[in-house]
Amino acid sequence: MSKVAVVYWSGTGNTAAMAQAVSDGATGSGAEVNIIPAGQFTKDDVSAYDAIAFGCPAMGAEQLEESEFEPMYESVKSALSGKKIGLFGSYGWGDGEWMRLWEADAKATGANLVTDSVLANNAPDDEAISSCKNLGALLA
Q: What is the pLDDT of residues 26-76, one digit of tens each?
A: 999 999 999 999 999 999 999 999 999 999 999 987 899 999 999 999 999
Quick: pLDDT tens for 2-27. 999 999 999 999 999 999 999 999 99
Q: How high is the mean pLDDT of the chain?
A: 96
CA distances in angstroms from 32 to 1, 2, 123, 140, listed in the order given: 7, 6, 26, 8
Domain count of the chain? Answer: 1
CATH number at residue 38: 3.40.50.360
Q: Other C-beta atoms within 10 Å of 97: how many? A: 13
Q: How far is CA 14 from the centre of its chain?
A: 13
Q: How far is CA 134 from the centre of its chain?
A: 13
- Give the residue numbers spanning the domain of 117: 3-139
Would you say residue 78 has pLDDT above 90? yes
